[in-house]
Structure 1
Amino acid sequence: MRYLRKLASAVFSPVPVSRDRALGISERLSALTTLSSSLEYLHQRKQLDPGGLNDWDIMKKSPESKNLFIRRVSGAVAGKHVTLALHASRAAVSAGLLLPGNSRLRGAGSLFLGATTCLLAARHRYGTDGSDQVATLVQGATGLARLSTSPQTKDAFLWYVALQANLSYAASGWVKLIGERWRDASALPGVMRTRTYGSEGVYRLTQRYPRTSKYLQHGVLAMECLFPVVYLAGGRLTRPFLASAVGFHVANGFVMGLGRFMTAFPSLHPMVAYTTVPASHPAVAGRDDRAVKAAAVLLAAGVALSAAVAVQRRAAVLEGWPTSRKFVTRHGNELMYETGGAEFSEEPVLVFCAGLASTSEHFSWITERFVNETEHAVVSYARAGYGGSLRRTTVPYELAESVDDLEDLVRGVVPVDRRVVLVGHSLGGELIRRAAARLGDRVAGLVYLDPAHPAELQRSERQSKGAKDLRDTIAHASLYLRLGTGVLMSRPDWLDRLPKAYRERVFAQYTDARLWKAGKREWEAVEKEFRAFDGRIDPIGAPGLIIAAQQTVDQDPEQLLLYNELAHAHQDQGEHDGQGEDGGLGGLGGLGGLGGLGGIKVVEGSDHDSLLTNAPHAHRAADLIAEFLGSVRGAGVRQEEHVRQERREGVER
């Protein structure tokens, strides 16, 4: 029993590390990480040659080099000989830092290593990883601590690294916990089956001992999620947690080939050990813990700022544009919509229906074109839950609800003497198809912009595989934004390709959890209904035009076949209705099939999103829509002439 008490005391006791010792261990481990990194690049120097993984002519086009200043600074060291000389000097400095000593020059060496890692980051897009980032963080903090003569300043830097370590583990753990694969214990076998990080032997072990594999994965989750509890119980949990973390990184090094992980992340641990020792312990006598209070104040300020920004953005989203209006549907949903263009023209009104997790402003290049240059009026709206539109109904969501809302909107805001052309992008294409059957003769035509097809999840392997990733992305975004992280959301590149007047409002919508909550609700309904689709599209009694993005049909040939079927649904209606019992032409739908209206057009160079957000692609789509509208107008004139001719012939007979 006495030995068990000794063992428990040894395991559950603080790690008495002094300030200087914590600094020394951390800087040596981080130096070992950099030494390994530079030796790898020196050994693989052929990758710097033209055509290699780190060819600068290719690297300078990467997102990391988009900033002109970064590109110029990186370009200054991009020459092969300069790059190799930097790595050689880094290796020499790293080796020097492994030697004993407490000189302030060690601080300069650590700062040199961290600075050159940043300098070479854009140069080495391939080969850098989280271990290099951790080493840079530690080297920056230990370097500045070494150069300082103030114990309080040193402690502030040590606390900074310790807090970063807690954030790193806890954030990683909670993100894993949100993912389904870690909860159902399929993550480890999945990784072990990959070519890059996998291990056939370990994968076979996970299949042979699934329960052990499950316990192991859940143990990693528990260690990461609960890492901050090392500061509880007077430091008695420090040894178990640090030992578990070291074991995790060593396993990563041997099994996944991430050798630098074995030194990079453990370089954080001495700071954790130093800061978890009770302040009364002689090893940390005089430790300054004010950094914790400062961090708490900064965290509180950050939370307050995040909440204020979220409230301001939500208010802007709900307010809408100065010209926005509201319409209440049969479900009680309040739809916000905007109108523009020729109010008293006889031309059909274009009604735009956006895609999943998208905004009505995505159509701005196209709608502005029609408002400013044609006689067509335009109506664009946000579905319930998006933008300033409110979902009031409490019944479980089905796609039919959005179809009902669209039908009500058309009947309620478009004058009864004017027909409509429904324009839908992505999921909006499926919604307008269903609404067209409800609206009947009110519909003059349909325009599908890279539309969803109800059979795509059954027949397109690419779409089916991407469905889960999309579901996870939307769910995670919805959760994170509800937690107030919208202020941290980066501005997507596509947003700055929209007309300038729309960018801030669109960004406000994308940082608002309401958009992602609505997208999550819709995607769940899409998956359920699309996977149960019986494979038959009913004939559509109006001409239709499908505008496809080139990358969509190039990357997924099945998608083009689906588009063909959708186009035939319009033609089939024409072939069915186009020939009446008296041998004459039928309605406008018949002309869609027999008169050559619509069909499929491809916008070269575009993808699913840039079809709308890229000005040249959107303008090309607008041109195709205008041509289609001209054909619809001509077909209507021909139909009227045909009817008049039949009447004259009837009178003569």
Structure 2
Amino acid sequence: MSRRRALGTSERLAAATTLTSSLEYLSQRKEIRKGGLNDWSVARSAHVDSSPVTRRLLDLVSGERTTTALHIARVAVSAGMLLPGSSRLRGLGSLFLGASTLALYPRHRYGTDGSDQVSTLVQTAMGAARLSRSTPTQDALMWYVALQGNLSYVVAGWAKLLGASWRDGTALGGIMRTRTYGHQPTYALTQKYPRAAKYLTHGVLALECLFPVAYLAGGRLAKPVIGAAAGFHLANGFVMGLGRFVTAFVAMHPTIAYTSAPKSHPFVAGRDDRALKAAALVLASAASVAGAVAVHRRLRVLEGWPRSLRVTTRHGNELQYETSHGSDPDQPVLVFAAGMLSTSEHFGWITNGILDDNRYGFLTYARAGYAGSHYRGRGPYRLAEAVDDLVDLVDAAVPADRDVVLVGHSLGGELARRAAAELGDRVRAVVYLDSSHPGELNRSQQQSASAKPMSASLALMVWSLRFGSGILLSRPGWLEALPEMFRKRVFDQYADARMWVAGHREWKAVEREFRAHEGDLAPLGTHALVVSAQRTVDKDPEHLLMHHEIADAHRATGHAVETVVMEGADHDSLLTDGRYGVEAGRLILDFLARTAEPADTKERKGQAA
């Protein structure tokens, strides 16, 4: 395919995508009106952090009349782009379509998809190429689209490869039975002919993972690869309803056909391939920088705080921890156990409050594999190993004459509950902060449903970070809500693969053991404070029932038990948001004051010790 033909074909296919898109939006104008799915008075709240200029521009574009006028203009321009011709004015048409898609993207928050993003990419590049009089510039832009096309398939393929359903060949049937993208007749065929469905699933996987083979054998493989990809999109358009994806992704194929032909071919004579070499140089440089950042970040993660200490547990795991003794040796030490994929610094608002109070000691630690702690296990991981580590840490790091209060968030709450049973009289109380319950995957439909894709998502995160993508991560909003002194260290852990490896290991144990859980919780002879996040229990009332069961397990032994629902908090903001974190710390200190042991009881304990 020649440069001229590739340019014209790509811009026409992209214009067909925009034409279809705008006609769809015009036929569903009720969705942009008051009360519709894309009611701007609601959708604009997602842009409260944007600059005033940006918000005013979005408001201007997002008025019902302006939005409608833009779509009518897009229909007219797109239709014109489908006509024959090679005028440079076509470049302006492509740029208008690409720019208008970007402008309308926030307006159609629900309904925009990958096809709009791909068409914008193609239109901006092809528009610039059409306006340029320089053939090297045109070729550079053609290479840009072609490389993006290759990348879109390869990344999608290797991401799918991490999913068990794609590897075992059941993914096609699973997708066809979903409500959003499913197709009942096709699903029935996958069940009737499972072997053929498996071959087809693996064929899609191979096509995406190996898409760049189109450039091998002097470009002779380009036709079958491009043809297979086009057939894949046509099938998706029919059975999954992704009609716009057909023209959007196929719009990148002409540039792949153009760039994959050998330079000796007369159709591509004079093609400038310096963009490929420049892209390879940029990629190599970026990989080097990403690797250096990852190494530097890993060293900071392993180093810990200046006051960090270490202890080796019975399983050979080396735990990194920080401790503060407090001013009153008669008061217990609070030991904090973080949730899965959380850090000890997540308790920052609470521990800062304890330091200000200055009566109680506290200890924070990183479980094996997190932060500077090392996991030495070789066999299958079980949650009992984390419980043993916590017990060993308390025995080694907390003076024998001091009681402990175990404070656990999420999974840390369940680990604290199990550790309390082993530590016995050493535990004054257990504090559960929106704690996990071992029966939640069986009893909560929401939890069970969200658990299914978790393993594949964690595996994808692990491998992405191992390949240096941590440099691309933006700082999440919850991070900025933590005390300032902890933010950098938490982000270092968040962007490092070690935390995700540890979390993935823990998740597999959680899913296996929680789904096998049966029966009631064993009674536990300690005081208990059970704090639930309001948004957690509002979203899934079953969680509140399970939290009450945790409380009842302590209440059965006659100990003091209090339950609190923290208004406005969700599962994570209960710790990360200063408003809720400070309140949680106050609740803990007040509870400990109300359940303080009389002096004669402390004396008897000391004599027994």
Q: Does 1:42 align with 2:42?
A: no
Kindly indicate whether residue 42 of structure 2 is the aligned counterpart of residue 58 of structure 1.
yes
Q: Give SS of 1:446's match.
A: strand
The question of 1:399 aligning with 2:361 is answered no
In the alignment, the residues of structure 2 paired with residue 45 and residue 525 of structure 1 have an alpha-carbon distance, to the nearest angstrom, of: 49
Task: Give, in whole Å, the separation in 2 of the partners of 1:343 and 1:467.
Answer: 44
Matched, 1:363 2:347: yes
The answer to whether the 8 A contact 1:350-1:421 is kept is yes
Residue-by-residue CA offset, 1:158-200 (whole Å, 9 max, x unaligned)? 0111111100111111111211222233322222223332222
Contact 1:341 1:372 in 2 (8 A): no
1:177 aligns with 2:140: no
| Contact kept in structure 2, 1:59 and 1:65, CA below 8 Å | no
Q: TM-score, normalised by structure 1?
A: 0.89
The superposition leaves residues 548-583 of structure 1 with CA deviations (integer Å, 9 ceiling, x where unpaired) of: 112222233332222222212212222xxxxxxxxx
Alpha-carbon distance in structure 2 between the residues aligned to 1:43 and 1:534:
53
Three-state SS of the structure 2 residue aligned to 1:378 is strand
Equivalent in the alignment of 2:397: 413
Aligned to 1:630: 593
Equivalent residues in 2 for 1:32-111 (5 A)?
32-62=16-46, 66-68=49-51, 69-111=53-95
Where do residues 335-374 of structure 1 align in structure 2 (5 Å cutoff)? 335-340=319-324, 342-374=326-358
Q: Aligned partners of 1:474 and 1:33: how far apart in 2? A: 34
Residues 130-150 of structure 1, C-alpha deviation per residue, up to 9 Å, x if partnerless? 111111111111111111111
The one-letter code matched in structure 2 to 1:636 is: P
1:123 aligned to which of 107, 111, 115? 107
Equivalent of 1:267 in 251, 268, 271 = 251
The answer for unaligned runs of 5 or more in structure 2 is none
Question: SS of the counterpart of 2:238?
Answer: helix
Displacement after TM superposition at 1:94 (Å):
1.3
**Cα distance in 1, alignment partners of residues 246 and 518 from structure 2:** 54
RMSD: 2.0
Cα distance in 2 between the residues matched to 1:642 and 1:502:
40
> Match of 2:261, as an amino acid?
V
Is it true that 1:297 corresponds to 2:281 in the alignment?
A: yes
Quote how far apart the aligned CAs of 1:333 are.
Answer: 2.2
Q: How far apart, in 1, do the equivalents of 2:78 and 2:451 lie?
A: 47
- 1:247-646 maps to which residues of 2 (within 5 A)? 247-340=231-324, 342-574=326-558, 592=559, 597-633=560-596, 635-636=597-598
Cross-structure match for 1:5: none
Q: Distance in 2 between matches of 1:39 and 1:229?
A: 37
**Letter in structure 2 aligned against 1:169:** Y
User: Residue 79 and residue 458 in structure 1: after superposition, are their counterparts in 2 closer, same or farther (change >3 A)?
Assistant: closer
Q: 1:53 and 1:138 mapped to 2: Cα distance?
A: 28
Structure 1 pair 224/327, CA: closer, same or farther in 2 (3 Å)?
same
What amino acid is aligned across from residue 602 of structure 1 in structure 2? V
SS of the residue corresponding to residue 324 of structure 2 reads: strand
Change (3 A) 1:559 1:636: farther
CA displacement at 1:532 relative to structure 2 = 3.2
Assess if the C-alpha contact under 8 Å between 1:421 and 1:446 holds in 2.
Answer: yes
Which structure 2 residues correspond to residues 8-27 of structure 1 after superposition, within 5 A?
17-27=1-11
Q: Is the 8 A contact 2:555 2:561 kept in 1?
A: no
- d(CA) in 2 for partners of 1:237, 1:513: 37
State the alpha-carbon separation in 2 of the partners of residues 410 and 254 from structure 1. 61
The residue identity in structure 1 corresponding to 2:40 is: W
2:328–2:360 Cα contact (<8 Å) kept? no
What whole-Å deviation, never above 9, does each CA across 1:516-560 have from its counterpart, x for those lacking one? 111122222223333333424332121111111122222333322
Query: Which is worse superposed, 611-620 or 559-568?
Result: 559-568
Cα distance, 1:640 vs structure 2: 7.1
- Unmatched runs of 5 consecutive residues or more in structure 1: 1-16, 575-591, 644-653
CA distance in 1, matches of 2:283, 2:488: 26
Q: How does 1:157-168 map to 2 (within 5 A)?
A: 157-168=141-152
Amino acid of the structure 2 residue aligned with 1:613: T
Aligned residues between the structures: 604
Q: Which amino acid aligns with 2:388?
A: D
Mapped to 1, the partners of 2:72 and 2:577 lie a distance apart of 45
* Distance in 2 of aligned mates of 1:491 and 1:28: 39
Residue 638 of structure 1 deviates from its aligned partner by 8.4
- What's the offset of the Cα at 1:52? 1.1
Is the Cα contact below 8 Å between 1:46 and 1:52 reproduced in 2? Answer: yes
The question of whether the paired residues in 1 share the 8 Å contact of 2:413 and 2:435 is answered with yes
Q: Give, in angstroms, the shift of residue 66 of structure 1.
A: 4.2
Letter in 2 for 1:509: Q
Contact kept in structure 2, 1:341 and 1:370, CA below 8 Å:
no
Q: Secondary structure at the match of 1:375?
A: coil
Deviations 1:426-454 (A, max 9, x none): 11112112222222222111111111222
Return the index of the structure with the highest Cα Rg.
1
In the TM superposition, what is the alpha-carbon distance from 1:402 to its structure 2 partner?
Answer: 1.8
**Same amino acid, percent of matched pairs:** 59
Is contact 1:59-1:123 (8 Å) kept? yes
CA shift at 1:394, angstroms? 3.7
TM-score w.r.t. length of structure 2 = 0.95
More deviation, 311-320/212-221? 212-221
Counterpart-to-counterpart distance in 1, 2:603 and 2:319: 39
